[in-house]
Structure 1
Amino acid sequence: LWSCWRWRCWAGISAWGWGGIAVLWLRLARARPRRRPRRGLQSRPRPRPRLLPGPAEDTRGAAAPAASAAASPARAPPLGTAAAGPEPPLSRSGERTPGEGRPGAAGGRSGAAPGPGPSADSRIPPAGKAQEALQEPYRLGSLLGSGGFGSVFAATRLSDGAPVAIKRVPRNRVWHWGELPDGTSAPLEVLLLAKVSSGCAGVIQLLEWLELPDSVVLVLERPERCQELSGFLVERRFLPEEEARGLFRQVLEAMRHCTSCGVLHRDIKPENILLDLATGQLKLIDFGCGAFLQDTAYTQFAGTRSYSPPEWTQFGWYYGKPATIWSLGILLHQMVCGEHPFRRGWNISCDHELSLPGRLSQECQNLIRRCLSMLHSDRPSLEELFRDPWLQDIDLP
C-alpha cells in the first residue's frame, strides 16, 4: 500500500509541475511581440507587360504612370533599332516641360505640368465672385455624363433660352493651374479652351467659368440636337466613305486650329466629338487631358490608353504631333470599319500587318496605313493629310 501511495503522489506532483511549465511557456510565447513585415517587402502582384490595349481599356483620360525613356534603359523593344530612333530630347533642367501630362490616379483631368503656360485669350472672364453668379442665369437640366473628371449637366441660359452644358469638376481633380492674362489663377483646361474657343466652329466654346469652394464649373456651348460620334457609329455600325470623308475633314480642321493655337488635345476619340444632327457640324470637346504644344518629347501620358501610340507603349515617350496622327488613324478606322483596329492585349510590332476590308477604296486604305505607321517619323503631318487624294473635293457644312 505504501508503494502504491508513493507512486501516485510522485505522478501527481510531476504532472502538476510539467503542466505549470507548459502554461508558463504558452504565456511567454503569447506575450512575445511578433515582427511585422516591412512595408514594401510585402508580396506584390506581378506587373503586367506593357501592351497596347484595345477599346475595352478606355480610361477616360486617366494618365499612365510616368515612364521616362532615360530612366528605363532596359526597355529593348521588339520594334528594332530603327523604330526606337534617338532618345527624346528633354528640357535642359531635366524637369518636366510645360506640356507634359498630369501624373496621378485616374480621374484627374488637367493635363499639363503646373505653372503658367502661354497666355490665354483675355476674352474669357475670371472666375465668378459668388455661386449665385451661376445659379441665377441658368436652369439646370438632366445629367449628360459623369466619371472621374466630374459631371456634365444639360442647362438652359435664361436670358435667351440657349442650350448650354455645365461641367462641374471637383477641386481635388484639378491637378494643374496657370494664369490668365489678368493674373487670375485658372485650371489648365480653362487656359486651353480660352486659346481655342474662337476662330473654329469645330471646337466647343467656353462661355464662362466659375470657381467654387469645392469645385470648378465650366459653362460650354451645347448644340440643341447633338450626339456623341461614338453613339452615332454604334447606330450606323460604320459610315460610307463619302460620309466619313466629310466628318474626318472636319476633325482635321479642328486639329489644325488647335495646333495653330499651341494646344495639344491628347484624347481624340469618338466619345470626345459631338455631332450636330441638324447641321452635320462636328465639335471637338473635353480638353481635360490637353497640354500646351511643345517640340520636345512628352514623357508622361494623358488620355485613353487604347489610343496611345506604339512609341509610348514601348519606350515611354512620344511627340505630340505624330501621336495625334496615330489617334486620327484609329478614329478614321473606326469610322469606316466600325471597330478599333487593334484588339485588346495585342503587342504591335514592326511586322504587324493591318487588315482592312476589301470594300474600302485603295486611297482610304493607304491613308489609314500611313497614319498608323509604326515609326512616328513615317506618319504624315496634318498639312500632308489635307493634301491626301482621299480628302479632296469635300463640301463642308
Structure 2
Amino acid sequence: GLASARLWACWRWRCWAGISARGWALWLRLARARPRPRRRLRPRPRPRPRLLPGPAEDTRGTAAAASAAASPARAPLLSSAAAGPEPPVSRSRDRRPGDGRPEAVEGRSGAAPGPGPSADSRVPPAGKAQEALQQRYRVGSLLGRGGFGSVFAATRLSDGAPVAIKRVPRNRVRHWDELPDGTSAPLEIVLLDKVSTGFPGVVQLLEWLELPNNIVMVLERPERSQDLLHFIRARRFLSEEVARQLFRQVLEAVRHCTSRGVLHRDIKPENILVDLATGQAKLIDFGCGTYLQDTAYTHFAGTLSYSPPEWTHLGWYHGEAATIWSLGILLYQMVCGQHPFRRGRKI
C-alpha cells in the first residue's frame, strides 16, 4: 500500500510537470508568432530638383515670355493663330537613347568648350564652372523634362538674351567622343558642334559645361517660340501654304545634318521649334543622334511610333530611309492634324 501511494504521487507529479512543460512551450510559440509592432519612419522630404543654387524661378522672365507668347505673330504665314505654350522638350515615353560610332570630327562651331584645367589649384575646375554659370545666367522656370534630362528657361545677364539650359545627368550619357580641340564630350554635344555652325535651321549650342554630376548645355531660345506639336494642335491642322513653308525648312535642316555626317533619328513635331516672330523652324534635341553610316543599324533610337516598317518586322533599318519615313509621318501630321499610326503594329 505504501509503495502504491508513492507510485501514485510520482505519476501525478510527472503528469503535472508534463502538462506544465507543454503549456510553456505552446505559450512560447504563440509569443514568437505574434507580430511585433514596427516603428514607423517618417519619409524624408525629397528635394526639389534645381539646376543651380539661387532663385528657383524668374517670375519676371516667365511672365514676360508668357505675355509675349500670347501676342500675335509677326510672320505673314503664322499670324492667323495665337501662340500657345512653349515646351521645347520631347516628353515621349517610348524614346530610347542612341548608339554612337566614334569617328574623327570635322569642322568646328562657335560653341565654347567645357572648362579646362584651372590655374588656381585650390579651387576645383567644376566648382569654378558652376560659379561662372551662376554669374552669367539667371535660371528661371522648368520648360520640360524628358528621358535625357531637363530644360530650364534662363536669361543671359550680359545682354538679357533668352537662352535654354539643358541639364543631363552624367550617368545617362552613354556615348562620348572628342571635339576638334581634343576635348572629350558627350556625343550629343559633338554632333551639335558639327551641325549648328552658322545654320539657322538647327538650334545653336552657345556653351557647355561639365559638372560633377551633370552635363549642362546652354542653347539658343527664341523669345516667342513653340514646338511644332503644340503649333499644330492650336490650329487643328496646317494649311498647305504654312505646311509647305515649315516642311521645306525641316528638309533643309535634315539635308544639312546629312551632309555633315549626322543622323538625327528622332524627327517629330516635338523636336521642331518654331520661332513665332520670324516663322523660322529649328531642329532640336540630338540626344538620339549618331553618325550616318552606309550599313544598316541594328539598334533603334528615337520614338517607336515614328520607326520604319523594316524595324518593326525585320529588326534593322538604314539611316536615310528611316529619316524619309519619319518625314512622311511629320508631313501627314501637319496637313491632317493627327498621327497616321497611333499603334505601333499599324505601321
TM-score, normalized by length of structure 2? 0.69
- 1:60 CA drift (Å): 6.1
Match of 1:126 in 2: 113
- Quick one: which amino acid aligns to residue 93 of structure 2? T
Contact 1:196 1:258 in 2 (8 A): yes
Q: Take 2:180 and 2:261, find their aligned partners in 1: how far apart are those partners?
A: 16
Contact 2:238 2:335 in 1 (8 A): yes
Match of 1:95 in 2: none
Match of 2:188 in 1: 189
Contact 2:305 2:342 in 1 (8 A): no
- Quick one: which amino acid aligns to residue 282 of structure 2? K
Please give the per-residue CA displacement for 1:304-335, whole angstroms capped at 9, x wherever unaligned.
11111111111211110000011111111111
Match of 1:143 in 2: 142
Secondary structure at 1:324 match in 2: helix
Comparing 224-233 with 159-168, greater Cα deviation is found at 159-168
Q: Take 1:268 and 1:289, find their aligned partners in 2: how far apart are those partners?
A: 10
Q: Take 2:345 and 2:254, find their aligned partners in 1: how far apart are those partners?
A: 28
Secondary structure at 2:96 match in 1: coil
- Mapping of residues 46-65 of structure 1, within 5 Å: 58-59=92-93, 61-63=95-97
- Mapping of residues 1-397 of structure 1, within 5 Å: 58-59=92-93, 61-63=95-97, 101-102=98-99, 112-113=100-101, 116-123=102-109, 124-129=111-116, 130-131=128-129, 132-344=131-343, 347-348=345-346
Q: Take 2:332 and 2:222, find their aligned partners in 1: how far apart are those partners?
A: 26
- Quick one: which amino acid aligns to residue 187 of structure 1? P
- 1:142 CA drift (Å): 1.9
**Structure number with larger C-alpha Rg:** 2
- Quick one: which amino acid aligns to residue 179 of structure 2? L
Q: Take 2:106 and 2:209, find their aligned partners in 1: how far apart are those partners?
A: 16
Comparing 118-127 with 201-210, greater Cα deviation is found at 118-127
Q: Take 1:286 and 1:313, find their aligned partners in 2: how far apart are those partners?
A: 24
Secondary structure at 1:329 match in 2: helix
Q: Take 2:134 and 2:94, find their aligned partners in 1: how far apart are those partners?
A: 28
- 1:149 CA drift (Å): 1.4
Higher relative contact order, chain-length normalized (CA < 8 Å, sep 6+)? 1
Match of 2:48 in 1: none
Please give the per-residue CA displacement for 1:24-79, whole angstroms capped at 9, x wherever unaligned.
9xx9xxxxxxxxxxxxxxxxxxxxxxxxxxxxx9326324xxxxxxxxxxxxxxxx
Contact 2:167 2:217 in 1 (8 A): yes
Report percent identity of matched pairs: 68
Flag structure 2 segments of 5+ consecutive residues without an equivalent.
Answer: 30-90, 117-127
- 1:348 CA drift (Å): 3.6
Q: Take 1:308 and 1:298, find their aligned partners in 2: how far apart are those partners?
A: 12
- 1:199 CA drift (Å): 3.9
Contact 1:120 1:191 in 2 (8 A): no
Q: Take 1:142 and 1:347, find their aligned partners in 2: how far apart are those partners?
A: 38
Q: Take 1:258 and 1:337, find their aligned partners in 2: how far apart are those partners?
A: 27
Secondary structure at 1:236 match in 2: coil
Please give the per-residue CA displacement for 1:182-220, whole angstroms capped at 9, x wherever unaligned.
211101011000000024211111111111111111111
- Quick one: which amino acid aligns to residue 62 of structure 1? R
TM-score, normalized by length of structure 1? 0.61
Match of 1:372 in 2: none
